Amino acid sequence: MATKAKLRFVAIVDDDELMRSALEGLLQTAGMPAQAFASAEEFLESGQLQHTACLIADIRMPGMSGLELLAKLNAEHCFIPTVFITAHGDTKLRMQALRAGATECLAKPFKNEVLLSNVRAALED
């Protein structure tokens, strides 16, 4: 798994630049390679889907939302373990995300360890 993880990277999709930078810095502490994208569309068009070991995405973004991205990946049989992060951390939205196939849905602000453990878990799946 470690080899697998080293070969692939964790994709970060968030329209908020601050959060993208923070997540990149966080993953770096765990030794996880990461690549950030400002929107779902940018990620889909990046051609990096097959190298994506895990996806950390914001649910609410301009244009395509995180849920729509996940649905689109699923529809294209591109099953990437996904951890959602959202500032609107209500239960209803969390359930909606989990039902859509997300590994976890974390509310901002979240604890770094929780996110890292969820990413690790996603990568192990």
* Residues lying near another protein in the complex (CB under 8 A): 16, 18-19, 21-23, 25-26, 28-29, 60-63, 65, 85, 87-88, 108-112, 115
Closest CB 45 distance from another protein, rounded Å: 18
Closest CB 111 distance from another protein, rounded Å: 7
* Contacts for 82 with CB less than 8 Å, ≥ 6 apart: 54, 55, 56, 57, 66, 70, 73, 101, 102, 103, 122
Nearer to another protein by Cβ, of 25 and 72: the residue is 25
Nearer to another protein by Cβ, of 7 and 95: the residue is 95
Residues 108, 87: contact at Cβ < 8 Å?
Answer: yes
Closest CB 61 distance from another protein, rounded Å: 7
Nearer to another protein by Cβ, of 61 and 80: the residue is 61
Residues 76, 52: contact at Cβ < 8 Å?
Answer: no
Largest CA distance in the chain: 37
Nearer to another protein by Cβ, of 7 and 114: the residue is 114
Closest CB 77 distance from another protein, rounded Å: 26
DSSP letters, 72-89, are HHHHTT----EEEEESS-
Tokens representing 6 are: 């080293």
